[in-house]
Amino acid sequence: MRRATKLLPPEGSAERLDLLEQVSRRHYLAGERQQDIAKALGATQSGISRLLAEARKLGIVRFEVNSVSAREQQEMLKKKFPHLKDISIVPYAAPADTVPPDLLTVLGAEAARWFLDRVPHGAKIGVSCGVGVNAAIDAINELGARDSKLPTQCRVYPLIITMMADVVSITPAALVAKLVSSLPAARGNAFQLPFELPGKLSARSPRDFYMQCPEVRRLLENTKDLDCYLIGVGFIDVLGKWKQTRDMAHMATHEFNSLVWRLGLIEALDELGAVGESLHQPFDATGEFLLDRPELKLLREHMLYLPLAEMSRRVHERKADVVAVAGGHEKVDAIRAALRAKIFNVLVIDSSTAGAILGKGEMTT
């Protein structure tokens, strides 16, 4: 039996324009498929397709093509930030006010290609947390298995150990386990620490307590001398957007923002001028590291981590590949600040975000 469809409002009516805007937002901004929109609105997919074409014709939807090529963007970024040894820019037209669901997919696939082409057998690899790194590991598994290019006998380490986790699947411990399961004959060293300390020790700093463990100290010491680091860059969510979504594509820096909001530190970060973070360690617009500030003592006490200063040292000494996977309009200021901080020397980014970084004033190294 043929499914009944709703009658469309007449052309030119206010109801028609509202419908065109609604359909356009759902498809181009929220990333919904035409068939799903059609089902929700009681229409046909061909009808939704015609509405989207009408929206483009009326100027409700407009597309812009960046006149600067990805290769030119690479040259401009390397000129401004000479510490970058490699930049992979994925051509991508991302809307300015959202994170499209497939942006993570394309960034993850590009990071995976870089990884599979350059990481040798037996490499020691460090992994941070987040949805971007998760997408890269998923793509490493898929592309590597298909092309038989997976490095073997690697050792994988977490770069952060947190004592509070909201989305367990994207913590460093979970991502280490996922990467180990993807690479032949790989070994991993990762564990998740409970937030509550045992018995009488609960009054002590969790960090001080766990740093007494030889295994923890050895793990953190090992992370200072790895061959490849796979990290993300996040923004400081002072508005608490992380609370409003469970969509993985919109959970940029979800774990860090969840942690600082729970600890009551979001106002302190705002007052310190924090614009971004990596490895759960915030920095300001100039790239200055902020974690050692007295106001953030509580944050330091609730995680174990490889200091960003050590990461920057590895970049300066050119002894490791530090690969940052980052993109999206909300991260523009954070990525620019991370570039100034010189915490990575390989950047995987989309052309839309790269263009925004290059287009917002002069940047200094």
pLDDT above 50 for 242: yes
Comparison of pLDDT for 194 and 314, the residue scoring more: 314
Q: What is the CATH number of domain 70-359?
A: 3.40.50.1360
pLDDT for the residue 186: 94
pLDDT above 80 for 302: yes
Count of CB atoms situated within 10 Å of the CB of 218: 10
Instruction: State the pLDDT confidence band at 246, using cuts at 50, 70 and 90.
Output: low
Rounded to whole angstroms, the maximal C-alpha distance in the chain is 73
For the segment 332-343, what is each residue's pLDDT rounded down to a tens digit? Answer: 999 999 999 999
Q: Which two tokens stand for residue 309?
A: 């200063």
pTM of the prediction?
0.75
Mean pLDDT over the full length of the chain: 83
Comparison of pLDDT for 31 and 338, the residue scoring more: 338
Whole-number Å distance between alpha carbons of 73 and 93? 14
Count of CB atoms situated within 10 Å of the CB of 49: 14
Cα angle 47, 49, 54 (rounded to 5 degrees) comes to 95
Where along the chain do the CATH 3.40.50.1360 domains lie? 70-359
Average pLDDT over residues 30-59: 83
Count of CB atoms situated within 10 Å of the CB of 83: 15
Amino acid at 264: G
Where along the chain do the CATH 1.10.10 domains lie? 14-58
pLDDT for the residue 280: 94
Instruction: State the pLDDT confidence band at 195, using cuts at 50, 70 and 90.
Output: very low
- The dihedral built from the CA positions of residue 142, 279, 307 and 324, taken in this order, carries a sign that is positive
**What is the CATH topology of the domain spanning 14-58?**
Arc Repressor Mutant, subunit A (1.10.10)
Per DSSP, the residues of 323-357 read EEE--SGGGHHHHHHHHHHT--SEEEEEHHHHHHH
Comparison of pLDDT for 15 and 335, the residue scoring more: 335
Per DSSP, the residues of 120-185 read PTT-EEEE--SHHHHHHHHHHHHHHHHHT----S-EEEESEEES--SSGGGSHHHHHHHHHHHSTT
The answer for residues whose C-beta is within 8 angstroms of residue 335's C-beta and 6 or more apart is 233, 276, 324, 326, 347, 349, 353, 357
Q: Which two tokens stand for residue 110?
A: 């590009």
